[in-house]
């Protein structure tokens, strides 16, 4: 499975944007909210979002600027704001809180900013350079001038230890304990704060790694590194030393910082009187406890966005189905994600700052297409849009913050989809003169075309790029995009939703009602989730299946013990067994639900046919590995509602639509009331986004407050 880059929006750049006013979804009579409460808090690069659900599923949203130097400060500010809205104090709020789920960019930022702990690696003698050679893989071979990122461990701290296992775990050479003691001496004299241990074939037998860890811990004594010793056989027993060791090294390099942060957060919560466990969202969209996060901190790097994907499950309903492809479009990029049958589409690995992490993570396909995406004319006279963006400062020319290059937002302003004046809930002001000047000077004049054609041209290019991104993530998996409902989120997503859908033959577009704090809301929808795997090599037959079941049962036993040990109700734990299989001779493998030999063969063949378009009738199938997912369900809102109080205020203006050009459109400042669909051409100019309803489409507000757009048949 190909690794992929982290979406831009999880970047750590702190932008100074004035705080928007409270969203109208909080305009409920909040003092009537009833405990017990459930709270999701998402610490993003710019804002810390809080979503609180009461016993009946009524929601309260609060936003406060993030505090990167002390991220926990933002968390407590958000809690204080929520408490105030409820007419309580913070201790009064947390005492009545049944569940507190937290997502954070702390791990993400540490990696992106290179603020990782200095670590050492104990590795098999003769193989010191696994992390430097990187299997020779280049993300973009053509860009050969780009260097590899520096390895997480410099060579002089990659310490060789003699001792060698065979692929089946038998010992080719015994562990040379003297080498471990030598390594301890080197580490003891260094500023290293954590140690990763990754020996060849340790997944097959952890004995060498365990012995080395014990010796090291003893020899290091009071040295800080003794507190964070991570063995590859413990945290990630998979075949493939590069990906395994790179992941284990990342766990180690994050461990000291994450442990400090979570300890501080837990201590302050306890001091407030919060009686329960703090939970964290992992890259796989599931939650875990603080202890679990400290054992595998690299599992947190996609924490926030993963919760946003998990939140798609809350959109499932009789009118919307449960298969979604989502476009989340912010200032710099568009993230495309998938959910099928309430299950988030996962990738087997991800890549962050050039480092591979072999942990299951939500599959996110990112393209450089956002509101701030810059359009221009290149040296040979050709129009382009993206991937470069103008960021928050100077931002689009129309922000009046000094930007001179035309962006997508400027184009939207020029064709009437955005109006001059207050923008993003009043945080910014749009200036049409500046937008017009930028498009004229940088696009219309050099191309020799009319101003509006230039602006519309930019929108056509970006719409096509987003549609192509959706095709990438669906067709590549052998899925037909027309089967899905397109979820359009983020500040700029609802402006593109219908026209992207039209290009793809998708007939329904959903704009979530809680677009402003979707990730924090997703945290309320998360379950506890634990992924475990073990290598298993055998040809697929009855005897192998029996042996595999035995091994899975042992894994399950451990997983259940871990979850019940953390205080989760044994009754609510659900375990799914899976197996990775391949035809003999293949290198890749496919993951299918576990079953008997016949069932496994059928499941494998069906998946192979769907993904690759063919199968080998009667082909020899072999096991590669076994895995399981254990989840414990958490209390969650039985339903949700957020209402839009005021009746919409209506105006008219000229707006450009694909295939129609400029035409008069109705503009409403809040969603249409229940039972009163709004037919295009129209716009919904909401506080934090604008929904474009082209001719031939109609919008209606669903009971939960989401807006469903449907194409006329």
**Distance of alpha carbon 395 from alpha carbon 380, whole angstroms:** 26
Concatenated DSSP letters of 549-617: HHHHHHHHHHHHHHHHHTT--GGGEEEEEEEEEEETT-SS-EEEE---HHHHHHHHHHHHHHHHS---T
613 binds other proteins (CB under 8 A): yes
Nearer to other proteins, 537 or 651 (CB): 537
Q: For other proteins, which stretch binds (CB under 8 A), given 28-36, 363-371, 462-470, 521-529? A: 462-470
Give the total residue count for the chain: 713
Concatenated DSSP letters of 142-186: T-TTSPPPPPSS-GGGEEEE--EE-TTS-EEE---HHHHHHHHHH
476 binds other proteins (CB under 8 A): yes
CA atoms within 13 A on the CB side of 691: 32
393 binds other proteins (CB under 8 A): no
457 binds other proteins (CB under 8 A): yes
464 binds other proteins (CB under 8 A): yes
611 binds other proteins (CB under 8 A): yes
Indicate which single residue of 113, 472, 480, 541 sits in contact with other proteins (rule: CB under 8 A): 472
Residue 639 has φ and ψ, to the nearest 5°, of: -155, 180
154 binds other proteins (CB under 8 A): yes
Q: Which of residues 182-201 bind other proteins (CB under 8 A)?
A: 200-201
Size of the site for other proteins (CB under 8 A): 67
461 binds other proteins (CB under 8 A): yes
Element (H, E) at 423: strand 421-423
What 8-state DSSP symbol labels residue 21? P
505 binds other proteins (CB under 8 A): no
Indicate which single residue of 80, 295, 447, 507 sits in contact with other proteins (rule: CB under 8 A): 447
Q: Which has the closest alpha carbon to 207: 240, 241, 182, 173? A: 173
**Is there a contact between 114 and 54 (Cβ–Cβ < 8 Å)?**
no
162 binds other proteins (CB under 8 A): no
Q: Which has the closest alpha carbon to 556: 468, 630, 659? A: 630
Q: Tell me how far, at minimum, the Cβ of 614 lies from other proteins, in Å.
A: 6
Nearer to other proteins, 38 or 591 (CB): 591
172 binds other proteins (CB under 8 A): yes
Nearer to other proteins, 437 or 615 (CB): 615
21 binds other proteins (CB under 8 A): no
539 binds other proteins (CB under 8 A): no
Our CA angle for 455, 460, 464, nearest 5°, is: 150
379 binds other proteins (CB under 8 A): yes
Indicate which single residue of 17, 219, 316, 383 sits in contact with other proteins (rule: CB under 8 A): 383
53 strand-pairing partners: 38, 59
Our CA angle for 557, 558, 563, nearest 5°, is: 100
**Distance of alpha carbon 491 from alpha carbon 255, whole angstroms:** 34
31 binds other proteins (CB under 8 A): no
449 binds other proteins (CB under 8 A): yes
Indicate which single residue of 19, 27, 70, 155 sits in contact with other proteins (rule: CB under 8 A): 155
Q: For other proteins, which stretch binds (CB under 8 A), given 309-317, 461-469, 637-645, 653-661? A: 461-469
156 binds other proteins (CB under 8 A): yes
Q: Which has the closest alpha carbon to 577: 547, 607, 603, 556? A: 556
Token code pair at residue 414:
């020029």
Q: For other proteins, which stretch binds (CB under 8 A), given 340-348, 446-454, 540-548, 564-572? A: 446-454
Q: Tell me how far, at minimum, the Cβ of 660 lies from other proteins, in Å.
A: 16
Q: Tell me how far, at minimum, the Cβ of 192 lies from other proteins, in Å.
A: 15
Indicate which single residue of 15, 190, 572, 586 sits in contact with other proteins (rule: CB under 8 A): 586
Category of 653 on φ-ψ map: left (φ > 0), alpha (ψ -120 to 50) or beta: beta
577 binds other proteins (CB under 8 A): no
**Is there a contact between 617 and 602 (Cβ–Cβ < 8 Å)?**
no
Indicate which single residue of 137, 291, 427, 647 sits in contact with other proteins (rule: CB under 8 A): 137
**Distance of alpha carbon 328 from alpha carbon 344, whole angstroms:** 15
128 binds other proteins (CB under 8 A): yes
Q: For other proteins, which stretch binds (CB under 8 A), given 31-39, 135-143, 281-289, 668-676? A: 135-143
Place of tokens 């007419």: 87
Q: Tell me how far, at minimum, the Cβ of 195 lies from other proteins, in Å.
A: 18
Convert residues 239-268 into a mask of x (bound to other proteins by CB under 8 A) and - (unbound): xxxxx-------------------------
What 8-state DSSP symbol labels residue 311? G
Nearer to other proteins, 581 or 667 (CB): 581
Token code pair at residue 708:
């469903």
Q: Tell me how far, at minimum, the Cβ of 242 lies from other proteins, in Å.
A: 6
**Distance of alpha carbon 41 from alpha carbon 54, whole angstroms:** 15
Indicate which single residue of 16, 136, 191, 341 sits in contact with other proteins (rule: CB under 8 A): 136
Indicate which single residue of 148, 268, 351, 711 sits in contact with other proteins (rule: CB under 8 A): 148
Token code pair at residue 226:
């003794």
Q: How far is CA 223 from the centre of its chain?
A: 36
Virtual torsion, Cα 623, 629, 630, 634, nearest 10 deg = -170
Q: Which has the closest alpha carbon to 58: 44, 37, 75? A: 37
Indicate which single residue of 31, 69, 221, 587 sits in contact with other proteins (rule: CB under 8 A): 587
- Which residues make up the interface to other proteins (CB under 8 A)? 126-130, 132-133, 135-138, 140-148, 154-156, 166-167, 172, 200-201, 239-243, 377-385, 447, 449, 453-454, 456-457, 460-461, 464-465, 468, 471-472, 475-476, 478, 537, 585-588, 611-614
């Amino acid at each position: 499975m190909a690794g992929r880059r982290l979406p831009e929006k999880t970047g750590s750049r702190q932008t100074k944007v004035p705080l928007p006013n409270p969203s109208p979804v909080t305009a409920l009579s909040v003092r009537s909210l009833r405990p017990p409460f459930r709270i999701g808090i998402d610490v993003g690069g710019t804002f810390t979002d809080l979503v609180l659900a009461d016993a009946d599923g009524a929601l309260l949203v609060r936003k406060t600027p993030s505090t990167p130097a002390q991220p926990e400060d933002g968390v407590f500010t958000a809690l204080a704001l929520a408490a105030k809205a409820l007419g309580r104090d913070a201790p009064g709020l947390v005492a009545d809180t049944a569940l507190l789920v937290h997502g954070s960019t702390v791990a993400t930022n540490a990696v992106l900013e290179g603020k990782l702990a200095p670590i050492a690696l104990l590795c098999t003698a003769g193989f010191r350079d696994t992390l430097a050679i990187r299997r020779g893989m280049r993300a973009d071979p053509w860009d050969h001038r780009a260097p590899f990122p520096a390895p997480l461990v410099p060579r002089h701290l990659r310490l060789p230890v003699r001792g060698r296992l065979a692929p089946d775990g038998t010992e080719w050479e015994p562990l040379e304990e003297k080498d471990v003691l030598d390594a301890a001496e080197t580490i003891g004299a260094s500023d290293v704060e954590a140690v990763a241990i990754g020996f060849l074939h340790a997944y097959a037998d952890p004995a060498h790694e365990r012995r080395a860890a014990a010796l090291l811990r003893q020899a290091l004594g009071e040295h800080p590194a003794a507190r964070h010793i991570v063995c590859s056989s413990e945290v990630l027993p998979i075949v493939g030393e590069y990906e395994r060791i790179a992941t284990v090294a990342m766990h180690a390099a994050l461990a000291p910082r994450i442990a400090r942060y979570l300890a501080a957060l837990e201590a302050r919560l306890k001091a407030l009187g919060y009686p329960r466990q703090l939970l964290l969202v992992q890259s796989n969209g599931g939650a875990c406890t603080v202890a679990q996060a400290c054992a595998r901190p690299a599992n947190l790097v996609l924490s926030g966005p993963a919760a946003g994907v998990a939140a798609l499950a809350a959109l499932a309903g009789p009118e919307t189905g449960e298969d979604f492809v989502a476009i989340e479009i912010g200032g710099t990029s568009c993230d495309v994600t998938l959910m099928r049958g309430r299950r988030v589409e996962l990738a087997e690995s991800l890549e962050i700052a050039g480092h591979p992490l072999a942990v299951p993570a939500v599959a996110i396909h990112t393209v450089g297409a956002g509101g701030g995406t810059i359009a221009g004319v290149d040296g040979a006279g050709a129009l382009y849009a993206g991937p470069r963006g103008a960021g928050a400062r100077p931002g689009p020319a129309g922000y009046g913050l000094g930007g001179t290059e035309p962006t997508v937002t400027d184009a939207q302003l020029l064709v009437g989809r955005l109006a001059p004046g207050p923008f993003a809930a009043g945080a910014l002001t749009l200036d049409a003169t500046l937008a017009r000047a930028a498009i004229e000077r940088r696009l219309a004049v050099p191309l020799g075309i009319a101003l509006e054609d230039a602006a519309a041209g930019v929108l056509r290019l970006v719409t096509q790029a987003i549609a192509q991104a959706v095709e990438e993530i669906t067709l590549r998996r052998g899925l037909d995009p027309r089967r899905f409902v397109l979820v359009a989120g983020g500040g700029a997503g609802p402006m593109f939703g219908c026209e992207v859908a039209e290009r793809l033959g998708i007939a329904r577009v959903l704009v979530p009602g809680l677009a402003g704090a979707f990730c924090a809301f997703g945290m309320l929808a998360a379950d506890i989730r634990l992924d475990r795997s073990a290598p298993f090599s055998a040809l697929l037959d009855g005897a192998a299946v029996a042996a595999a079941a035995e091994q899975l049962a042992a894994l399950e036993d451990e997983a259940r013990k871990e979850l019940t040990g953390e205080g989760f109700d044994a009754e609510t734990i659900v375990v799914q067994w899976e197996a990775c299989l391949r035809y003999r001779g293949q290198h890749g493998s496919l993951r299918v639900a576990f079953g008997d030999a016949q069932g496994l063969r059928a499941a494998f063949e069906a998946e192979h046919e769907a993904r690759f378009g063919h199968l080998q009738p009667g082909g020899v199938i072999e096991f590669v590995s076994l895995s399981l997912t254990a989840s414990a369900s958490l209390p969650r809102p039985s339903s949700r509602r957020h209402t839009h109080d005021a009746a919409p205020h209506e105006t008219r203006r000229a707006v450009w639509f694909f295939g129609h050009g400029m035409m008069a459109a109705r503009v409403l400042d809040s969603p249409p009331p229940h039972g009163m669909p709004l037919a295009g051409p129209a716009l919904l100019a909401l506080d934090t986004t604008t929904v474009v309803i082209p001719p031939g489409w109609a919008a209606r507000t669903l009971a939960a407050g989401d807006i469903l757009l449907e194409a006329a048949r």
